[in-house]
Amino acid sequence: MRHSRSLAAGIMLALGAAFLVVAPLGLKPYGIFILSMWAVMTIAAIGLNLTLGYAGQISLAQAAFVGIGAYLTAYLTTKGWPFWSTYMLGGVSCFAIGWLLGYPALRVQHHYLAFVTLAFNTLVYLIFRNEEWLTGGIYGISNVPRPVVLGWSMNGPREFYYFCLAHLALVSVATWWLLRSPWGLAFVALRENPIRALSLGVDTRRYTLMAFALGAGLGGISGALYAPLVQFIDPTPFALGLSLNLLLMVVLGGSGYFFGPFLGAIVAVLLPEWLRFTEGFYLMGYALLVIVLMAFSPSGLLGLADRLTRPAPRGAP
Amino acid sequence: MADLLQLLVAGLATGGIYALVAIGFTLLWQTSQTINFAQGEFVMLPAFFVLIGMGYFGLSFWPAVALGGALSVVLLGLVFKKLMVEPMIRHGVLPLVIATIGLAILMKEAVRQFYGADAWPFPVLAATTDVTVFGAVFAVQSLVILAICVAVVVALQLFLGGTRTGRCMQATAQNPTVARLLGIRVERMILYTFLINGALVTVASILITPIYLAKFTNGEWLGLYAFIAAIIGGFNQVRGAIAGGLLLGVVDNFAAVYLSSQYRTAIPLLILIVVVLFRPQGLLGRIEERTV
């Protein structure tokens, strides 16, 4: 029974991966753009899943980290810096900022992190909007160049899509490895029972902080890809709305499930494009879906699938 | 000096409104561990009920307010409690937080979809004239708002401290298990706090909407200010919420005049971060113990 379940999951995974590789061949540039956006947002959501799903902390600042990564890349690459250096810088600086931000907030009860990150996101947004000398204010930064990898230009939509997809694959493998390491197991222990983890000698505060900072770092990496994808950035996309949206993505897909963010990002990024004719009703339906899921399956769509396909416990009819 | 006094009164008036919203917020937290991320939208909505009452049913202002208030108490109090909080709270705090974020989006989008994205004018309670007291000019509106806020807070305190039901509610907030052992109907007391929250957000809505117009996005910053007021005052104290709200209103008004208007919204956020850093239990709050 267990065997057939993992076989089915494996087949679906292979089909999904094959679709992602083949899809751009049959899509118009706009479709490829949306698919690239899905990959970029999934990276940010994977980061948030580390914070929320594995360390059990609500962060409402993921959009700010995506924004910091995006602005760093946009500002520096338009000044002539090579992409890979700004990419690294985006990830590392967001990790450091996340560490500094989480350090005081995690001293106290966990919902304080939600409020502090909420305030942080709004502060960062205000800086993006008001510091015109640095960020271009509401006019933003335009003409962000796309990178050249080993002499091969990533300028076309298809090339850049594969570039984003490669990064998504890289991030997925790294996260997969992390979650199977002793660190990842400590993250899970934190979520399941922080006080028991503490009594077993896990330095809970340090691991929680680590999960939060790593999540922030992935947000920065996602932003570093966002800037050359859109090629124009302004403050609006990095307001609190995106943070809330990313949070709902993770929860909807299934927080604490490795593939939760992938699924959540499909619902939040791809579905609205296909369901465009529904206009404002889409968001209402989305919000309603989140509420209903929280009542019946707090572990999201994957949690629901898990429960429905799990063999009935022994003794049950 | 006269300028300072004027600013102070204007700040206390908006601060009083924040305090009402923050009190509701802390009441829900105390009795049922509900962190309501839709609290701002709860304040946004009653004004639209009143507008619908006036526009579609042709009611005059006060009957429309009564209708809006009744609808708010039922929908934002009873229905919110029965349909959202009760099924979810057993999963822990987190799913309910997420669900209220979803609820906030739902309410916002519903208003935009069914009523429109414009900012609608809303009737004022008092004439927009000024009075001069000791050389300082005060807006009558600010004084009326302040008076109503004080009246509501005093009434609430009298109810909580002076009546049997009020004291049962306080006992429920402090220790639900012991309260249940003492024969208090804990579930009913929790329901009362939700109804009170529904009434408080209605009052806040009627007071604040004439100033900022009725717009579907109002909840975003109102909710944020209510959180900040609750946290800087002390998350687990009604008087903390009052102090936090008033302080926030005053600081916000002074910041708008004496500091940059671009970074006006940043000041409350910075206060929040400083308070969480140095006094996480809030200015008047007490430290909550962890339970295993």
Q: Does residue A34 belong to any structural domain of this protein? A: yes
Chain B interface, Cβ < 8 Å to A? 35, 84, 87-88, 91-99, 101-103, 105-106, 109-110, 112-113, 220, 224, 227-228, 231, 262-263, 265-266, 269-270, 272-273, 276-277, 280-281, 288, 290, 292
Per the CB < 8 Å rule, is B101 touching A119?
Answer: no
The answer for residues whose C-beta is within 8 angstroms of residue B82's C-beta and 6 or more apart is none
Q: Does residue A316 belong to any structural domain of this protein? A: no
Write down the mean pLDDT value for chain A.
85
Residues of A in contact with B111 (CB under 8 A): none
For residue B228, give the chain A residue with the closest CA.
A115
Q: Where are the domains of chain B?
A: 2-220
Spatial distance between the Cα atoms of B98 and A190, rounded to a whole number of angstroms: 20
- Does residue A119 carry a pLDDT above 70? yes
Spatial distance between the Cα atoms of B125 and B206, rounded to a whole number of angstroms: 8
For residue B292, give the chain A residue with the closest CA.
A195
| Residue B38 tokens, joined | 């839709």
- Does residue A181 carry a pLDDT above 70? yes
Per the CB < 8 Å rule, is B270 touching A115?
Answer: no
Q: Does residue A3 belong to any structural domain of this protein? A: no
- Does residue A312 carry a pLDDT above 70? no
Q: Residues A81-98: pLDDT tens digits?
A: 888 899 999 999 999 999
Percent of chain A with pLDDT over 90: 30
Q: Does residue A305 belong to any structural domain of this protein? A: no
Per the CB < 8 Å rule, is A294 touching B88?
Answer: yes
SS3 B141: helix
Amino acid at B214: A
For chain A, give the longest Cα–Cα distance. 69
Residue B292: its pLDDT value, please?
Answer: 41
Question: Are B27 and B226 within 8 A, CB to CB?
Answer: no
- Which residues span the domain enclosing A164? 26-239
Question: In the structure, what pLDDT confidence band is assigned to residue A174 with cuts at 50, 70 and 90?
Answer: very high
Q: Give A199-246 as a 3 state SS string.
A: HCCCCHHHHHHHHHHHHHHHHHHHHHHHHHHHCEECCHHHCHHHHHHH
| Residue A13 tokens, joined | 């995974």
For residue B268, give the chain A residue with the closest CA.
A119
For residue B217, give the chain A residue with the closest CA.
A241
Q: Residues B75-105: pLDDT tens digits?
A: 999 999 998 888 888 887 888 888 998 999 9
Question: In the structure, what pLDDT confidence band is assigned to residue A215 with cuts at 50, 70 and 90?
Answer: very high
Per the CB < 8 Å rule, is B91 touching A294?
Answer: yes
Structurally, chain A folds into a number of domains equal to 1
Spatial distance between the Cα atoms of B135 and B152, rounded to a whole number of angstroms: 29
Per the CB < 8 Å rule, is B272 touching A284?
Answer: no
**Which residue bears the tokens 């939760």?**
A260
**Cα-based distances in Å from B165 to B156, B191, B194:** 12, 12, 14
Spatial distance between the Cα atoms of B61 and B85, rounded to a whole number of angstroms: 32
Distance from CA of B101 to the nearest CA of A (A): 8
The answer for residues whose C-beta is within 8 angstroms of residue B248's C-beta and 6 or more apart is B15, B18, B225, B228, B229, B232, B268, B271
Q: A119: which DSSP letter?
A: H
Q: Let me know if B177 is exposed, middle or buried by CB neighbors in 10 A (0-12, 13-18, 19+).
A: exposed
Per the CB < 8 Å rule, is B102 touching A119?
Answer: no
For chain B, give the longest Cα–Cα distance. 59
| Residue B193 tokens, joined | 């706090």
Of residues A102, A99, A104, A74, the one with CA closest to residue A89: A74
Where do the H-state alpha helices sit in A106-203? 111-130, 132-135, 157-180, 182-192, 194-199
- Does residue A317 carry a pLDDT above 80? no
Per the CB < 8 Å rule, is B102 touching A291?
Answer: yes
Higher pLDDT, A282 or B16: B16
**Residues present in chain A in total:** 317
Cβ neighbours of A179 (radius 10 Å): 17
**Residues present in chain B in total:** 292
Q: Does residue A314 belong to any structural domain of this protein? A: no
For residue A294, give the chain B residue with the closest CA.
B95
Residue B73: its pLDDT value, please?
Answer: 94
SS3 B132: strand
For residue B29, give the chain A residue with the closest CA.
A111
Residues of B in contact with A58 (CB under 8 A): 94, 97
- Does residue A32 carry a pLDDT above 50? yes
Q: Let me know if A89 is exposed, middle or buried by CB neighbors in 10 A (0-12, 13-18, 19+).
A: middle
Of residues A11, A39, A6, A48, the one with CA closest to residue A254: A48
Instruction: Flag residues of chain B having pLDDT under 70.
Output: 1-2, 286-292
For chain B, the first-to-last Cα distance in angstroms comes to: 54
Of residues A195, A298, A266, A306, the one with CA closest to residue A41: A266
Interface test with A, best of B33, B37, B94 (most A CBs within 10 A): B94
The answer for residues whose C-beta is within 8 angstroms of residue A64's C-beta and 6 or more apart is A117, A120, A121, A124, A125, A219, A238, A243
Which of A119, A251, A283 lies nearest to residue B98, judging by beta carbons? A251
